[in-house]
Structure 1
Amino acid sequence: MAKKKAETQDFSAYIRWFWMIIVGGVLFVVLLFLLASWGVFGEMPDYTRLENPSTNLATEIISSDGELLAKIYNNDNRTPVDYKELPDHLVKALIATEDARFHEHSGIDAIGTLRAFIFLGKRGGASTISQQLARQLFVGVRSKNIVETATQKIKEWVIAIRLERQYTKEEIIAMYFNIYDFGNNADGIRSAARIYFGKEPKNLDVKESAMLVGMFKNSSLYNPRPTRNPEGTRNRRNVVLNQMEKYDYIAENVNDSIKKLDLGLRYSPESHREGLATYFRAYLTEFMKDWIKNNPKPDGTGLYSLYDDGLKIYTTIDSRMQQYAEDAVHEHMARLQAEFFNQNTPDRNKTAPFLDLNQDEITDLLKRSMRQSERWRIMKANGKSEKEIVASFEKPTQMNVFSWKGEIDTIMKPADSMRYYKSFLHTGMMSMDPQTGHVKAWVGGINYRHFQYDHVKQGKRQVGSTFKPFVYATAIDQLHLSPCDTFPNTKITIEAGKFGNPLPWSPDNSDDKYGGFKTLKSALANSINTITARLMDKVGPQPVIDMARNLGIESDIPAVPAIALGTPDLSVYEMVAAYATFANKGVYNKPVMVMRIEDKNGTILYQFTPESKDVLSEEVAYVTTNLLQGVTEGGSGSRLRGSWATDNQLYKEIITGYPYALTNPIAGKTGTTQNQSDGWFMGMVPNLVTGVWVGGEERATHFKSIAYGQGASMALPIWGLYMKKCYADKELDVSTGDFERPAYLSINVDCNKRSESDNSDTEGFGDDSLDF
């Protein structure tokens, strides 16, 4: 009996030890949780940080039609999306693969944790989506030290529970998708969907969703790019599909059919040098930096970060019109460049691509370019001597160079690459609504990745005959002239001393034809220099300069009569705004690019204020516009009508092989500078004004022939192509109507009766037309 009692006592001891261990273990775990929550194992997020997790958010640039043009960021290309923007199959793919009991636990999956403990993780991990989010937001990369790993895990558990209390399940899912780095600058699901598939998240299909969820395991390893691991990524995607079938999210036949498909990748990297409106985005970045300097955060915590604070910039750029503008530039410039190369091969021109320069002048030009290059700056900063730097330009180097048929990987001397790049013709193009000042399209060059100089606002070149309307407008304003008034087409000399002119000035007509009388409308349409000089003689340079200033031109304009023919260097930006004043009944609107700026919460930080002023009477503006209509009706712009022909088939195919056939009212002006270095076309319809410049980086890079080198051949085709595309898109509602006639018009613009001596009105502009 005593023996039996002793055995019972011994059994009771085991029970006590068992419960002591259980209770002690529970207390130990509770203690660990308490210690972790108190910050013993490292800093823990407080309520405020849980409410507003610190994540870097890229600045968004949004077009006037609601499209995301691009993002500005340093390291994190992240734009958050709401749960409602995530397709159902994407969420189900995540839950099936990462956390099947997500909706059943409160941050920690007890079953999964026990399984991982018993089988040492061989049958799957125990981290819930909430734990993984906690690690991403607050814990960081897992340590290789066992003790630190254990404390990190405890912190994840504590934070996961807090997250579950703070947020709904849907919010946690959205946060998880938004925080993850999918590689290749794809931070968050929105960037990933755009970069890998060219879509918004809500438009992802099942196979695309499965691939992206598969990348959660290791986005570096399961990288779908062709040069990385597309096969491994495809296999991982199929694992996700199997999990979706396992939990009845997709049917077996659907799984089997999708697994046979390839990834369907449409890889389109988002970088500052690629994508739509690259030159405009570069301008906008500088605009924002200036704005940020002068607009600190209202809570006194410092300045906004352009790269991390998730600002939203709503612009006036229309993504459709921007695309049409870039397409028009690409289509014409590729053909124009091919002909330029054809005419300037070394066997035809030993100094190619430079005309009018000897070898010594070319050598000096290239030396100056070397000193202005990034290579020179970097090597100089690294302490290299000038001799060493110059020598480096003669050492063949592996490089990637631009061509209109695609980038070329080659080995080339940097000195040769400089000369090669100076062979390219460039362009600047801007399109603007004259009634609002809203800039609709901005193309600053042919390829931002290789040519980063902006030819819209930064670049300034001689404007040629596109300056003449300012002279005409001044004369109409001061002298009440009519487009039908006639002037003798004979040489005129403005003597030295008049208007402060240091030397006599007697311009020639570009076609060297003189005699008879010309109406102002015919003279402007055919760019008759002598008539423009006569108007300058009547009004003087200073009133013309004052007119240009009132039209928004800020660049330097010397007070000499020669400005009448377009000697000043002006920007496309200035010229478009000035011409827009004519289309807007004499009211100047300062160009607008940014409508408003919001913070990540949608609070408006900046709202643009229109800047406008009356420059001309409605009558003078209309008469000037009527004069400019003559350019497209019977002058150098008439090729927009398809009403002229040429026997030179090659020329027709390269320069004029576009069926513009525009029949609506168009006002415009071509411009060509000395030696064909710069070609311009300014074109207007009532609700859209667009300016185009084309030329080489160096003025010595130009066509030898005026047939190819004039504004009507270099710049006008871009305008024509662009407008054809805009007119084809009926949603844009680009005007096809006439310019509104003032209710009271005292100046006669209907020149139905021509002077017998003014036969130029019927001559038009042949295919050998000249325009200076």
Structure 2
Amino acid sequence: MNEKKIIKSLWIFFIGGLITIATYLFSVQVDFYHLYGGMPSTDVLENPQSELASELYTADGMLLGKYFDFRNNRSPITYEEIAPSMIHALIASEDCRFEQHAGIDLRGLTRAFFISILLQQNKGGGSTLTQQLAKNLFNIRKELNYKGKCSHIPLLNKLIFKTKEWLLAVQLERAYTKQEIIVMYLNTVTFGSNTYGIKVAARTFFNTKPIALRVEEAALLVGMLRAPTRYSPLIHPENAKHIRNIVLSLMVKNNFLKKSEYNLISEMPIELHYQEENYQQGIAPYFRAAARDFLLKWTQANGYDLFADGLRIYTTIDSRVQTHAEAALKEHMALLQGTFDEHWKNSNPWIDENGKEMDNYIETEIKKTKLYKKLLEKYGEDIEAIDTELHTAIPVELFSWQGPIKTIMSPFEKFKQHRRILQAGCMAMDPHTGHIKAWVGGINFAHFQYDHIKKSKRQAGSTFKPIVYTVALDNGYLPTDKVVDEPVPFLQYDGKIWTAQNAWKAYTRKKITLRYAMAKSYNSVTCYLVKQLTPKLVATYAQNMGIKGPLEAVPSIGLGSSDVSIYEMVGAYSTFLNKGVWTEPFFITHITDKQGNILQSFIPQTYEAIHEDTADLMTYMLKGSLDEGALRGVSSALKDNNEIAGKSGTTSNHSDGWFIGLTQGLCTGVWVGGEDRCIHFRDFELGQGAVTARPIWEKFILKLYNDPDTVYQKGPLVDPSIPLSEKVKNIIQTKKNYDVQPASDTSVNTSRDSNHTKKAVIEELDINNIF
């Protein structure tokens, strides 16, 4: 064969090879006869869908938390938000020719072919950053719509998948700039420890932002990309330091770092500020859980994925108010728990109505837990096996106010120990807008996840009484009206007589004003009003003021015998500061998609529940507690040059302590009690709401006043231009001039133009002598 024939054959072979390769690439691109499987469309390439965690923000712009399954725990950032050292480390380590190639690095492929394949030396592959990005964005190896008839053939399927990655890399290079590719890559990679994206990784490992990453931190994160578990600084710190220094040396080799800097940095130990993200960390964990329940329903109804669509949820919570509320609750509950433990000492606090310890209480209650249900699934009806596992000692973590206690104990004993812990809840709301500013659903979310704001409903005790007085004032009574403190018998449906006693088990038989009676929490006067107005009318008003749960229209309704939530009670009391208009408590203002487009804005339900004059009179009535009632013992720092109002409540066996407090621009509700109603103090002095719940409110409000960054300061409760006392005098004088008629027992006067009526002829005092 002569030279010309050889050259001709080579050219034919070369051109034929090019045609074959081009034909093959084209056939893969168009999925010829569905042999190879589809490719991402142009639209998908230009707008790749990266699954993102949804983020929850406070009203003051703080990231409150995220909703994600771990694969979606990522937050996108821009190129300008990434430290140059991070970009330099990435290019030096993963793709030193990144700026020169167009998606495929032929030199790198050749090196990978000869060294890694032919010589069987594992010196790394030839994939560029763009190819790796293609893998991250489009899972062509697993998704069915990217597989064809040849995808099941060994070796051939690998060639097809690799070809698609090459094609996608080239297309990505055409669609995006180099900077955009770097950003997309760092937003999609995983760094281990359930962290996806550079923003989450920087926060998780170093508690910083990507722009603030130091050279050694950036080198470590880039090194971890090669094998997140093997090079994890948490699991293998020596391996992590080794790979960090390799990346640093590559930065020197590629002129991103000076040799002198390398010598210094390479000797430095790894310093972590590790904090893995989860639902329990940070402020407002109970609120985040409550918001999650709402958002799951909303996303399902509106066709979104809370854990993958990168939604932005903006809430009404104020991070500063929330922080102060949590701190106040923890401070007081730690002290109260000490008192409770000393009160019961070695005795168990679960007692019956006769004050005796309840037999088999723990054995009965533990059967209601998730743990017991899991054991039932595991062992079926083998009660002995279940009992054995419940009483087998294992490593456990107990809650204590001094910090978690790790010990060896059986699940049964752990459950018993935790049942001795007092619980609490606190919610603060702007009465004018309905915005919930603080939501503290319990004492510790890690150990006690049941939310005591909205889910928990307990008897309200005397905090329900203001609703009875509201009905009275809205139907013609005045704060100055007097009623005799004496027994008020009710004939019940069963023919028996029920008569409520005052908390102090006695009656003065004297006439007292309604304002004084409410401040001192006279049961007799409350029952008198319930009897005159009827339980049905009281229940109707309560429901109109936001108590949406079932209410029994029975004689004891006015004493708080029905179960209510903090959420409902705060909404009801807020009506007093909002001119009689009930505003639904709510906690989300709007939701946007990841581009910032508003998907839905939320506006609370509002309506006039009581007359404006009634609201002012009730606010004035509640101020009476400052002089004679639950507020009498508050610190001068809180009441000096300030208007405050409120009402405490305690159930008959001291199992529930309540306090609802009003300050300028804020209505706050607090509940304290045991996990179960049978867990409580044995006497009223220790268990009353003024002792168990009110101090939390007091500490909370003082913290707000002492914080210059909050808007909550001392001031009048209602209209600053007219003192409340003057306004009340004018209202009372106007009402005295009405020519009134008796009202129907079942009517609800809510019209601002209607004449309010009185139910009985009662001796009245001079309006300047309130008591």
Considering the TM-score relative to the shorter chain, is it more than 0.5? yes
Where in structure 2 are the equivalents of 1:317-336 lying within 5 Å? 317-336=317-336
Stretch of structure 1 that moved more, 633-642 or 130-139? 633-642
Query: Counterparts of 1:359 and 1:506 in 2: how far apart (Å)?
Result: 24
CA 1:304–1:521 in structure 2 vs 1: closer, same or farther (change >3 Å)? same
Letter in 1 for 2:284: A
**Which residue identity does 2:623 align to in structure 1?**
Q
Of 32-41 and 284-293, deviating more is 32-41
Offset, 1:148: 4.8
| Structure 2: distance between partners of 1:697 and 1:186 | 36
Which ranges in structure 2 are unaligned for 5 or more consecutive residues?
143-151, 734-763
Q: 2:109 matched to which residue of 1?
A: 113
What is aligned with 2:43?
48
Please point out which of 598, 602, 605 is paired with 2:596.
602
Q: Which runs of 5+ in 1 are unaligned?
A: 1-8, 296-302, 643-658, 762-772
Distance in 2 of aligned mates of 1:736 and 1:262? 51
Indicate conservation of the 8 Å contact 2:424/2:673, yes or no. Answer: yes
Alignment of 1:333-732 (within 5 A): 333-346=333-346, 349=347, 351-352=348-349, 354=351, 361-363=358-360, 365-382=361-378, 384-385=380-381, 387-388=383-384, 389-482=386-479, 484-488=480-484, 490-496=485-491, 502-510=496-504, 512=506, 514=508, 516-642=510-636, 664-732=642-710
Query: TM-score if structure 1 supplies the norm length?
Result: 0.85
Question: Which residue identity lines up with residue 430 of structure 1 in the other structure?
Answer: M
The DSSP-based 3-state class of the residue aligned with 2:475 is helix
State the Cα distance separating 1:679 from its structure 2 match. 0.8
Match of 2:145 in 1: none
Residue in 1 aligned with 2:220? 211
Structure 2 match to 1:312 = 312
Cα pair 2:428 2:666 within 8 Å, conserved: yes
Asked if structure 1 preserves the Cα contact closer than 8 Å seen for 2:488 and 2:524, the reply is no
Please tell me whether the aligned partners of residues 73 and 306 of structure 1 are also in contact (alpha carbons under 8 angstroms).
Answer: yes
Q: Which residue of 1 aligns with 2:206?
A: 197
- Equivalent pairs: percent with the same residue? 38
Partner-residue secondary structure (3-state), 1:182: strand
1:747 counterpart letter in structure 2: I
Note if 1:271 corresponds to 2:278: yes
Tell me how far apart the structure 1 counterparts of residues 351 and 271 of structure 2 sit (CA, whole Å): 47
Judge conservation of contact 2:490–2:555 (CA < 8 Å) in 1. Answer: no
Measured at CA, do residues 89 and 294 of structure 1 come closer, stay the same or move farther in structure 2, by a change above 3 Å?
Answer: same
- Aligned partner of 1:95 in structure 2 is 91
Q: Secondary structure at the match of 1:304?
A: coil
User: Cα distance, 1:455 vs. partner?
Assistant: 0.8
| Conservation of the 8 A alpha-carbon contact between 2:630 and 2:646 | no
Q: CA RMSD in A?
A: 3.3
The equivalent residue for 1:656 is: none
Contact persistence 1:481–1:747 (CA under 8 A):
no
Q: Which moved more, 1:510-519 or 1:526-535?
A: 510-519
Per mean C-alpha deviation after superposition, the further-off stretch among 460-469 and 537-546 is 537-546
Secondary structure in 2 matching 1:69: strand
Q: Does 1:230 align with 2:230?
A: no
What's the counterpart of residue 148 of structure 2?
none
Change (3 A) 1:611 1:162: same
The corresponding residue for 2:187 is: 178
Q: Cα deviation per residue 1:38-95 (whole Å; 9 max; x = unaligned)?
A: 4455543222332333432222222222222222223422332333333333223322
Map Cα deviations across residues 533-578 of structure 1 (whole Å, 9 max, x no partner): 3333443322222221111111222222322222221000000100
Question: SS at 1:595's partner residue?
Answer: strand
CA contact 2:460–2:650 (8 Å) conserved in 1: yes
Q: What SS does the corresponding residue of 1:637 show, helix, strand or coil?
A: coil
Q: 1:290 to 1:181 in 2, by over 3 A?
A: same
Alpha-carbon shift at residue 356 of structure 1 (Å) = 5.4
Q: 1:144 to 1:628 in 2, by over 3 A?
A: farther
Cα distance between partner residues in 1 of 2:271 and 2:351: 47
CA distance in 2, matches of 1:129, 1:518: 83
The answer to whether the 8 A contact 1:694-1:715 is kept is yes
Q: What is the rounded CA distance, in whole Å, between the counterparts of 1:617 and 1:408 in structure 2?
A: 54
Distance 1:16 1:725 in 2: 91
2:51–2:308 CA contact under 8 A, matched in 1: yes
Cα deviation 1:213-261 (Å, max 9, x = unaligned): 2221111222233xx1233223333333343444444455555554454
Tell whether the 8 Å contact from 1:315 to 1:593 is kept in structure 2 after alignment.
yes
* 3-state SS in 1 of match to 2:590: strand
Taking the aligned partners of 1:625 and 1:393, their CA distance within structure 2 comes to 52
1:747 maps to: 731
CA contact (8 A) 1:518 1:760 kept: no
1:220 aligned to which of 214, 229, 232: 229
Render the CA deviation track for 1:567-610: whole Å, top value 9, x for unaligned. Answer: 22100000010011111121110112121222333332222133
Name the count of aligned residue pairs.
716
Map Cα deviations across residues 398-425 of structure 1 (whole Å, 9 max, x no partner). 3333333333333322222222121111
**1:290 Cα offset (Å):** 2.5
Look up the equivalent residue of 2:128 and give its one-letter code: T
Q: Which residue of 2 aligns with 1:280?
A: 287
Partner Cα distance (1:589, 1:192) in 2: 42
SS of the aligned residue for 1:675 comes to coil
Shift in Å at residue 636 of structure 1?
Answer: 1.9
Mapped partners of 1:523, 1:87: distance in 2: 67
The worse-fitting range, judged by mean Cα deviation, of 460-469 and 304-313 is 304-313
Give 1:180 deviation, angstroms: 1.1
**Deviation per CA, 1:375-412, whole angstroms, max 9, x where unpaired?**
33223334611524344323333333333333333332
Structure 1 residues 483-539: Cα deviation after superposition (integer angstroms, max 9, x where no partner): x44444x32223426x99952314224374736554433333332333333333443
Q: Deviations over 1:5-46 (max 9, x none)?
A: xxxx75556655665665555555545533443445554322
CA displacement at 1:114 relative to structure 2:
3.2
Q: Distance in 2 between matches of 1:23 and 1:595?
A: 65
Separation in structure 1 between the aligned mates of residue 267 and residue 343 of structure 2, nearest angstrom: 52
Q: Is the 8 A contact 1:500 1:560 kept in 2?
A: no
Change (3 A) 1:230 1:368: same
Q: 1:672 corresponds to which letter in structure 2? A: T
Q: 1:173 to 1:638 in 2, by over 3 A?
A: farther
Determine if contact 1:139/1:152 at 8 Å carries over to the other structure.
Answer: no
Report if aligned partners of 1:495, 1:501 keep a CA contact under 8 Å in 2.
no
| One-letter amino acid matched to 2:626 | T
| DSSP 3-state at the match of 1:504 | strand
Q: Relative to structure 1, is the Cα distance of residues 511 and 95 closer, same or farther in structure 2, using a 3 angstrom cutoff?
A: farther
2:56 is aligned with 1:61: yes
Distance 1:435 1:264 in 2: 48
Deviations 1:320-354 (A, max 9, x none): 222222222222222222332233232xx2x3454
Q: Which secondary structure does the structure 1 equivalent of 2:439 belong to?
A: strand
Cα deviation 1:170-191 (Å, max 9, x = unaligned): 2211211121122222122232
| Alpha-carbon contact 1:355-1:702 (below 8 Å) kept | no
Assess, with a 3 A threshold, how the Cα gap between structure 1 residues 145 and 723 changes in structure 2: closer, same or farther.
farther
Flag the 1:760–1:406 CA change in 2: closer, same or farther, 3 A.
farther
Is 2:26 the counterpart of 1:34? yes
Amino acid at match of 2:65: A
Q: Distance in 2 between matches of 1:520 and 1:256?
A: 82
Q: Which residue of 1 aligns with 2:755?
A: none
CA deviation after TM superposition for structure 1 residue 727, in Å? 2.5
SS at match of 2:406: strand
Q: Quick check: 659-668 or 149-158, which moved more?
A: 659-668
Q: Secondary structure at the match of 1:81?
A: coil
CA contact (8 A) 1:677 1:696 kept: yes
Secondary structure in structure 2 of the residue aligned to 1:479: coil
- Equivalent AA in structure 1 for residue 52 of structure 2: L
Q: For 1:674, what is the secondary structure of its paired residue?
A: coil
Q: Which residue of 2 aligns with 1:654?
A: none
